[in-house]
Chains A and B, each alone.
Chain A
Amino acid sequence: MVDVAWREAGVSVQGVAERAKVLNKLRTGDIVFHRITKSAAVSVLVVLGGVIVSLLLGALPAFQEFGFGFLTTESWNPVTEKFGALAPIYGTVITSLIAMLIAVPFGLMIAMFLTELCPIWLRRPIGIAIELLAGIPSIIYGIWGLFVFAPFIQQYVQPPVIATFENAPVLSTLFAGPPFGIGILTASLILAIMVLPFITSVSRDVFDAVPPVLKEAAYGLGWTQWEVWRYVVLPFTRIGVIGGVMLGLGRALGETMAVTFVIGNAHRISASLFAPGTTISATIANEFTEAVGDLYTSSLIALGLILFIITFIVLAIARYLLLRINRRIG
């Protein structure tokens, strides 16, 4: 080891004076390396600060022009330069919520399968397969959604649903309109598939962390697998599961390409889930490079700022919850 140190310091060893030199050099190297790593760590904070500051500065003109009305106006008109964020915000929130409504039960059931029912030798392969879903780039989901999933929905799902609920009071507006294929619901379904792996893997990890003694005690009382899972595992891991769900929600809110392909990019709020809509990220992706005029660009950056604030809050809550459960387990 001493050889290594000397080699590193680049001094040949001769006598006591040289020895002091070597030690000094090593100490400087130590301090320098410490400083370098510390500044690298600080740079992570700088990046976040940079994101926030540049978004704020970029969004300033739009907020100066429209004030808080920006958040509550539905119209989005590049020609008259009247911009309002309500339609994209609505689209972002509604698609993410529907996606979560579908993905959460599915994800939890898969996690339950992986931790309770699945034979041990199958757990790893199936777990990896589900996680591979998370690895597929979002543009692949987009192209798949546009060419395969949307036509399928248009042909086989939407017409019968529209026909079935034609006369039902609320459902007829919810499922109204011509079957476009693309639209809010299609985007939500694709989002659901995309966030499924996040929910599954986080919940599987927290389910795995439940002390076996607790489960064994419940089994010892004669509980069924479902009862053990529902009344022991789930309550014990509740915080972690919610953290995982929020993590998935953060992904769904910020997801861009997959949604851009299938949402239809219409700046209006429609009661029907089959109608085309837009989300914040889809609007930015679609219009940013074509945006002419400072106000237009600034409005798009303002949308980005809103998206960042929403996801920041959601992700911060998710991390906080996951941190708490880690502390409890660890």
Chain B
Amino acid sequence: MDASLYASRRRRNVIAAVASYAATFVGLTWLALILGVLFWHGFGGLSLRVFTEMTPPPGAVGGLLNAIVGSLIMTGLALLIGAPIGILAGTYMAEYGRHSHLTSIVRFINDILLSAPSIVVGLFIYYVMVRPMGHFSGIAGAVVLSVLVIPVMVRTTEDMLTLVPDTLREAAASIGLPRSLMIRQIAYRAARAGIITGLLLAVARISGETAPLLFTALNNQFFSTDLNAPMSSLPAVIFQFALSPYKDWQDLAWTGALIITLAVLAMSIMARSLTRARKAS
């Protein structure tokens, strides 16, 4: 046997292992780096004022209240519009049309919408809402976000309902429960944790969305809950403030960025722990 062949194979193996360790290390370092920098720049600005005062003009002190409220309103509305549609569509795909042609088409299209660039969705809503209305508005922002919510909800609802054992459905059918009631009373309950996970993921996805909001809800320097007027949002304010030359605006942008990131990460971790609890049980 050729000893040098062995040595070179072993060497190659070690190199690959080292490369793979290094890649993982680099990946984790980036995460730590980004979070570290966010805390470093954003944590100092985190005070009660951020949550109670309006976005300031340059040079003045202020907070992010109008942006936070705007984000909450638009996110909430987006969920109200998008989540039912998504859940119902997912229900059709998993319950009524599991093997139908329509389902496979919808699934394919939905998967594409799931990763389609959000800026294109923004252009779409601009064309069908902002342009006819003649002005930017909070409601257009909410609709854009709801279009982004739908694919997430469709996907998770379908997946989660498919996981519900058929024996449950058969048991319900055998005692004469109509299908629609079976879905609502049995299947939804069994899949509840999964659907809530989907909701959390959807919120996590849209709460950082910036690009489509820029030409639907635009931005607003003042406190506004008027859905028919431009509405401020946290990401839009971060975008505007970060690119401004003013130091205090940039600091606020960092603080806003920290708030969004913490919220988003908290939601995705919550979503994960929910699914894990499900799997364990």
Contacts and interface: CB of A to CB of B under 8 A. Distances in A.
Interface of A: 1-2, 4-5, 8, 26-27, 29-30, 32-34, 36-38, 40-45, 47-48, 50-51, 54-55, 57-58, 105-106, 109-110, 112-114, 116-118, 126, 128-133, 135-144, 146-148, 193, 196, 200, 224-227, 229-230, 247, 250-251, 253-257, 260-261, 281, 284-285, 288-289, 300-301, 304, 307-308, 311-312, 315-316, 319
A159 B139 CA distance: 48
A304 B123 contact: yes
Nearest to B235: A139
B222 interface: no
A317 B52 CA distance: 48
A261 B154 CA distance: 32
Contacts of A312: 112, 116
Given A132-B265, A146-B242, A147-B41, A30 B208 contact: no
B115 A130 contact: no
Given A44-B150, A139-B239, A148-B37, A319 B111 contact: yes
Contacts of A251: 115
Contact of B13 (A30, A55, A226): A226
Nearest to A105: B23
A109 B119 contact: no
Interface in B66-125: 84-86, 88-89, 91-93, 95-97, 102-103, 105-106, 108-113, 115-121, 123-124
A54 B126 CA distance: 9
Interface stretch (B14-22, B43-51, B57-65, B190-198): B14-22
Contacts of A105: 23
Contacts of A316: 108, 112
Contacts of A133: 27, 30-31, 34
Given A137-B261, A304-B119, A109 B243 contact: no
A254 B17 contact: no
B142 interface: no
Contacts of B147: 47
Interface of B: 9-10, 12-13, 15-17, 19-24, 26-28, 30-31, 34, 37-38, 41, 84-86, 88-89, 91-93, 95-97, 102-103, 105-106, 108-113, 115-121, 123-124, 126-128, 147, 150-151, 154, 172, 175-181, 183-185, 204, 207-211, 214-215, 218, 235, 238-239, 242-243, 250, 253-254, 257, 260-261, 264-265, 268-269, 272
B34 A2 contact: no
A146 B26 CA distance: 20
A4 B150 CA distance: 30
A1 to B, nearest CB: 5
Given A4-B181, A138-B210, A308 B116 contact: yes
B81 to A, nearest CB: 11
